[in-house]
Structure 1
Amino acid sequence: MTTYSHTLVTLACACLLLAGCATVPANNPNVVPPQSQYDSIIVDGNGRLLSINQLAEELAPADVVVIGEYHGHHGAHLLQLLVQSALYQQRPRQVLSMEQFALDDQPELDRYLTGQSGEEELIADTGAWPNYKASYRPLIEFSKNRNVPVVAANAPAHIVRCTGRYGDAYLDELDAGQRRKLPDAPFTDTAEYRRKFFETLGGHHGQAENSKRLENSYKAQLLRDNTMADRVIRALKEFPGHQVIHLTGTFHAENRLGMVAVLERKRPDLDVVVISPVFWTSGNTLNSLLKAHQEKGDYLYFLQPLPEEYKDNERHRNSITEQFRNATELSCD
């Protein structure tokens, strides 16, 4: 393909994804990979390419829209904002639910949204994620400017950490006020999710040398999932008739596992739509990627892979060791 032809194809795809051109099939040979870390290519379950506006039209009837992300990927966060904005045009009665804030951050989040504190105060008082300004500020500001409620949906970090250290028995040590904020059944799961978690972490339950640590880590993961599902359910009750957009790391939602499985088990009447990210890896076509990852979501969005974090394996191991050491030093008293 000549440079000129490639440019035309790229412009055509940009038109398709942002301006709302007609859908085209995923096997179209002119579809090119994402051209930057901000680009994404959206595909529905039938393999059709969609623009943001077309996606929003299809998402409008849903009760809950779950958008998975690769944390820190600019393309994922841009897509989340575009979906939020486009859906607002369809259904302005909207609630934004975020894994990125814990439920005990809700008072400080509300103070910021109502203009009672500034951004640096929000960041300091909630311990906001390091990439807040680059990744989540636009979503919060969009919500603030339109009086869209924002739900701090995650379990408190110290409770998650200590559950990961001591297992589910740690919740028995919480005072009544802390325990009451968490779900009644905080470790609801599915066999498929359990299998995926242990396979991903490289262990196998009952056989791995560190199976107890993995088991506790799994309980910590379930606490996050169940708390997020519980917060979404509460938001639907508190704001009847509103559509909830929930943002979370893709592992918590893809294949309708994690918090999505919990949500659907506790509220099977809900219409829940899952949008999952997939890296467009070198040598693949959209069609091959769609076939390999189609089950991850009702809709997929393809992104450029993130840069490789380490070339030096020893430095990578040292970094992981240091993270575990820092977590161990934190008290669970």
Structure 2
Amino acid sequence: MMTSFVRKSAILWALTVFLAAPGLTRAAKAPDIVETATGRSLSVSELADQVKGADVIFFGEFHDNAAIHELEAALFEALYERKGRDLALSLEMAEQDSQPVLDAYLKGEAHEDTYLAQSRPWPNYKEAYRPAVEFAKTHELSVVAASIPRPAAAAYARTGTLDGIPTEWKPYVPEPFYPSSLAYERKFTKIMKALKGRAMPVSEERIPKLFAAQSLKDNAMAERLAAYKKNHPDHLVYHLTGAVHSGGYLGSVEQLHRRRPDLDIQVITAVFAESSGADSVQPGRVYKDEGDYIIVVPNTEAGDGG
């Protein structure tokens, strides 16, 4: 049974990576930061100045892109310079049932090995997300384990019904559980169909169940963020997630807006595009609906799927 669970967890993680980045590579250079409203290129410091007044920042990343992870960490540090202790890190990559051991680790009450053994870390945790967690630990910042536990998401994807989720995982099912928008469903379906012929082809019959699981994750993350903001209204929450979960103000962004329409939500979205230049189409214009800011990863790094 353990072998089966590990295998299913690995498959779910791999699918999550594909959803975040249609064409995986490690970036060769630092990506551009573009403000979509103006088309201006920004430094990390300028971006931090722009978003520091928000309630929640969604950083929609490509999970397997090293340069984006470096940029995320740099922005987190820049935000700390401006917000101090009124800053929290939130992670799709940390599951809600791991919150107690994560809190114990952040307080120095548990060893890192204990935290990792009890938290189902992603395979690339050490190089991709550990720097931000360690920065939070050093500076005594909260870290929110935002995602629904993988066993719950896996059961929902398999059965297509909340009744199929084992009893032990039911407490993590968000209430209310809002349906996702048609625009989000169409976007998700298009991405899934694009996986045909690649490492993880998905049958069209299975797409609705996978989208249901995607919506479950979005609702769960939104509920977690809303709860944190209720308890810490003055904190800026910096939420790291896959680009599909937040790009275009869809997914978990629309779910959070349903719960807390009063919040100032800023969206940063990674995209594959040509860098800005005098003779090129400006990515800020092409991707203006993807977020308030876009992180432009060159098309040359998108691989066969880009």
Contact 1:38 1:78 in 2 (8 A): no
Partner of 2:183: 192
- Is 1:181 paired with 2:172? yes
Partner of 1:60: 52
1:200-257 per-residue CA deviation (whole Å, 9 max, x = no partner) reads: 2229xxxxx9554211111100011000111100111122211101000000000000
- Is 1:273 paired with 2:303? no
Q: Write the letter of the residue equivalent to 1:184.
A: E
Deviation, structure 1 residue 306: 4.1
- Give the length in aligned residue pairs: 268
User: In 2, Cα distance between the equivalents of 1:307 and 1:195?
Assistant: 22
Q: Which runs of 5+ in 1 are unaligned?
A: 1-35, 204-208, 311-333
User: In 2, Cα distance between the equivalents of 1:287 and 1:113?
Assistant: 45
Pick the aligned partner of 1:140 from 133, 139, 146: 133
Identical positions, percent: 34
Q: Write the letter of the residue equivalent to 2:226.
A: I
Contact 2:39 2:282 in 1 (8 A): no
Q: Write out the 4+ residue segments of structure 1 that deviate beyond 3 Å after TM superposition.
A: 209-212, 280-288, 304-310
- Is 1:91 paired with 2:83? yes
User: In 2, Cα distance between the equivalents of 1:283 and 1:148?
Assistant: 35
Contact 2:54 2:265 in 1 (8 A): yes
Deviation, structure 1 residue 186: 2.6
Please list, as runs of the form range in 1=range in 2, the aligned pairs for 1:247-326 lying within 5 A after superposition: 247-281=240-274, 287-304=281-298, 306=301, 308=303
Deviation, structure 1 residue 187: 4.4
User: In 1, Cα distance between the equivalents of 2:276 and 2:220?
Assistant: 39
User: In 2, Cα distance between the equivalents of 1:290 and 1:114?
Assistant: 41
Contact 1:37 1:303 in 2 (8 A): no
Partner of 2:9: none
User: In 2, Cα distance between the equivalents of 1:77 and 1:286?
Assistant: 26
Kindly name which structure, 1 or 2, has the bigger radius of gyration based on alpha carbons: 1
1:29-79 per-residue CA deviation (whole Å, 9 max, x = no partner) reads: xxxxxxx63502111121011111111111011000110100021111111
Pick the aligned partner of 1:109 from 99, 102, 107: 102
1:69-94 per-residue CA deviation (whole Å, 9 max, x = no partner) reads: 00021111111111111111111201
Contact 1:162 1:170 in 2 (8 A): no
Deviation, structure 1 residue 129: 0.7
Q: SS where residue 193 of structure 2 aligns?
A: coil
Q: Which runs of 5+ in 2 are unaligned?
A: 1-26, 195-201
- Superposed CA RMSD in Å reads 2.3
Contact 1:38 1:74 in 2 (8 A): no
1:104-154 per-residue CA deviation (whole Å, 9 max, x = no partner) reads: 111121121111222232222212011111111110011001111000000
User: In 2, Cα distance between the equivalents of 1:287 and 1:307?
Assistant: 18
Partner of 1:123: 116
Pick the aligned partner of 1:69 from 52, 61, 72: 61
Q: SS where residue 269 of structure 1 aligns?
A: coil
Partner of 2:20: none
Pick the aligned partner of 1:227 from 220, 232, 235: 220
User: In 1, Cα distance between the equivalents of 2:296 and 2:304?
Assistant: 20
Q: TM-score, normalised by structure 2?
A: 0.81
Relative distance call for 1:83 and 1:282 in structure 2 (3 A) is closer
Pick the aligned partner of 1:149 from 133, 142, 155: 142
Pick the aligned partner of 2:238 from 236, 240, 245: 245
Relative distance call for 1:212 and 1:170 in structure 2 (3 A) is farther
- Is 1:165 paired with 2:149? no
Relative distance call for 1:120 and 1:72 in structure 2 (3 A) is farther
Relative distance call for 1:55 and 1:117 in structure 2 (3 A) is same
Task: Tell me: higher relative CO, structure 1 or 2? Use CA pairs within 8 A at least 6 residues apart.
Answer: 2
Relative distance call for 1:307 and 1:268 in structure 2 (3 A) is closer
User: In 2, Cα distance between the equivalents of 1:39 and 1:124?
Assistant: 33
Contact 2:89 2:239 in 1 (8 A): yes
User: In 1, Cα distance between the equivalents of 2:276 and 2:57?
Assistant: 31
Q: SS where residue 201 of structure 1 aligns?
A: helix
Q: Write the letter of the residue equivalent to 2:127.
A: A
Q: Write the letter of the residue equivalent to 2:180.
A: D
